[in-house]
Each structure stands twice: as structure tokens, then as C-alpha cells.
Amino acid sequence: MIRWLALLLLAGALAWCGPAQAQTCTATPSNLDFGNVNPIAGAAVARSGTINITCNWTLISLQPNAQVCLNLSTATTRALANGANTIQYNLYQDAGNTQLWGSTSSGNTPISVSIAKPLIGTTGNATVNFYGQITAGQTTIPTSGNASTVYSQSFNAETVLAYGYYLLVAPSCASLASAGSFPFTVSATVTNNCTIGATNLSFGTAGVIGAGINALSSLSVTCTNGDAWRISLNGGGSGDVAARVMQRTGGGGSVGYQLYTDGARSQPWGDGSGGTTRVTGTGTGLAQAVTVYGRVPSQATPMPGNYSDTVMATIEF
């Protein structure tokens, strides 16, 4: 009877010990997408991502804490790419974008976090944020094929996960061995966009319109580098692009005039109807000046006064 009891106690002890569970940590980051980026705005663009960290303990552990280090071993200036074209940006540990996300191998600081073993269970979790910012002032970033263009950078071998379990004092990140990688991708979509501005065109003062009167003004066009654009001018108050008219302030007279795309004033500038043409070009990311050539042809001189018209310039891209 006594022997049988001893055997039962021994079997129970063996069953309670069982095989030991490995203590491991994993890191799963989200991709970081800057979304649509309008380069001609010249503004910095900031976004954030998250990294989910999970650590496991054995049921009984004398090291109830885990130190997890997330190393990102690349140059301190990072670049999204589309072919040979690039966008400069960087990744940071803080929302203020002051602490670069780096690696102990490159002499920079990795992201680190300590996780404590829960009171119930053997799995602990933590979520940390990381932050990205596209550098301001990159106005000449191009699109491709006259369409929105994705730029990206993928991190794989550059990411190094390291972790260690401890009782009281956390180990330094530099002392921990590599335990795998945590791949993710950073991307941005560069979009086509244009802005347009205009200066007024003045024909000055004339007593008698016995000969043609010429004048110039200009449009300022800023479009995404590589973006094709086209500018139309409407018919103003007359509604007729082939026969524009300035009206006397207060009524009682009009002066015919025309706008042209060329210095010889042989190509009327309109919307493509009535024998008119439009001006086309390709954006550079910088402001481009487009000259408007105006002429008042010889005609019967109307009564004295101020004559004007309002023309709308429309840019398509």
C-alpha cells in the first residue's frame, strides 16, 4: 500500500513538470503609408505606424520581465523610390520627429520597450508607435505616365529584433543578440496637381483707335513635375472666344479685341472652338510663366471712357 502511494506521487510530479515552454518575443509592424502627396505644395507630410509586440514566458519564470529592442539599420537619410526618382523622408521614435529610429549596429538608438509577465497567463503584449515625415520643399518630385505614382521603400534585413528576459535590471540593447527581423514597407502616392495665377492685361490709353494696339500679360502656372497641362481662355463677357469685346463702364460703347498664344498674334487663344487654340505644356514642379498676347485692332473709336472685360483662364491636367 505504501509503495503504491509513492508511485502515484512520483507520477503526479512528472506530469506537473512536463516539457519546458520556450520564452520568445515577436514584433509585427504595420506598413506606413503617407497617402496622397502633393509635391508642389512644398509642405512636410507626417504619418505614423504601429508595432505589436508579444512576449511569452514559461509558467514559472525567475525572469518576469522582457526587454525588446527594434533595430532599424539604414542610413540616417531615407528615401522612397520609383525607378531613379526619390522622395527624402525619415522615421522617428517620437511624434515630434526629433529622435531618429536607428540601430545599435550603426551607432543610433533603436526603439525599445519593456514588457512584464502578466499576473495571469504567460503572454504579455505591448504596442509602440513609430513616426514618419517627408521632408518639406521637394517640389520637383515627378509623377510617371501623367498619373498618380507610388513611391516606396521596403525594410527586411535592415530590421533586427533583439530581446532578453531579466529579473531586475534590463539588459542594454547592444548586449542582445539578433532574434530575427520584422519586415514592413513605407510608401507614398505622388499626385498630379496644378495652380494658376494671372496678371491683368492693360492696353493703356488711346484717343483714336486708328491702328492696332498691342499689350502683354502673363499667367503663372505651377504643376507637378512631369504633369501635362493645357490652358483655355473663355470668351469673357461676349461669350465668344473668336470675337471678344470690352464694354464701357456705365454702358454706351464697346471695343473689340483678341488674345493670342503667339507674339505674331496669328493664333487666337480660346477653348479650341471657333478657330481658337489652347496653350499646352509639361509641369516642372516650379512656376512657369506663360505670356498672353493681346491686340485691339483698328476700329471706329467709341465714346471716351473706361473699357474692360473679364476672362477666365482654366487649366486642365
Point out which residues pair with 264 in neighbouring strands.
Answer: none
Report, as an integer, the average pLDDT of 134-147.
97
What pLDDT was estimated at residue 139?
Answer: 98
Angle at 101 between CA 97 and CA 104, to 5 degrees: 150
What pLDDT was estimated at residue 106?
Answer: 86
Classify domain 194-316 by CATH architecture. Answer: Sandwich (2.60)
Tell me which residue of 223, 216, 179 sits closest to 200, measured CA to CA: 216
What pLDDT was estimated at residue 13?
Answer: 30
Q: What is the CA radius of gyration of the chain?
A: 35
Report, as an integer, the average pLDDT of 3-7.
30
Distance CA 188, CA 279 (A): 31
Amino acid code (one letter) for 150? V
**221: which 3 cell numbers?**
502656372
Confidence of residue 107 (pLDDT cuts 50, 70, 90): confident
Confidence of residue 8 (pLDDT cuts 50, 70, 90): very low
Percent of the chain with pLDDT over 70: 93
| Position 274 pLDDT exceeds 60 | yes
Confidence of residue 204 (pLDDT cuts 50, 70, 90): very high
Confidence of residue 4 (pLDDT cuts 50, 70, 90): very low
What pLDDT was estimated at residue 149?
Answer: 98
| Position 269 pLDDT exceeds 80 | yes
Report, as an integer, the average pLDDT of 104-114.
93
Confidence of residue 22 (pLDDT cuts 50, 70, 90): confident
What pLDDT was estimated at residue 10?
Answer: 27
CA distance readout (Å), 290 to 32, 199, 268, 275 = 39, 11, 15, 21
pTM: 0.86
Distance CA 89, CA 74 (A): 12
Report, as an integer, the average pLDDT of 216-245.
98
Confidence of residue 1 (pLDDT cuts 50, 70, 90): very low
Residues ≥6 apart with Cβ < 8 Å to 104: 69, 71, 110, 173, 174
Confidence of residue 75 (pLDDT cuts 50, 70, 90): low
Tell me which residue of 258, 280, 276 sits closest to 267, measured CA to CA: 276
Q: Which residue has the cell 519593456?
A: 114
What pLDDT was estimated at residue 74?
Answer: 74
Report, as an integer, the average pLDDT of 138-166.
97
Tell me which residue of 78, 34, 84 sits closest to 190, measured CA to CA: 34
> CB-hemisphere CA count at 13 Å for 132?
24
Distance CA 16, CA 25 (A): 25
- CATH 2.60.40.1090 occupies which residues in the chain? 194-316
Q: What are phi and psi of 238, to 5 degrees?
A: -75, -25
CATH topology of domain 21-190: Immunoglobulin-like (2.60.40)
What pLDDT was estimated at residue 77?
Answer: 77
| Position 97 pLDDT exceeds 50 | yes
Report, as an integer, the average pLDDT of 15-23.
45
Confidence of residue 208 (pLDDT cuts 50, 70, 90): very high
What pLDDT was estimated at residue 7?
Answer: 25
| Position 95 pLDDT exceeds 90 | yes
Question: What is the pLDDT of the chain when averaged over all its residues?
Answer: 92
Confidence of residue 20 (pLDDT cuts 50, 70, 90): very low
What pLDDT was estimated at residue 307?
Answer: 98
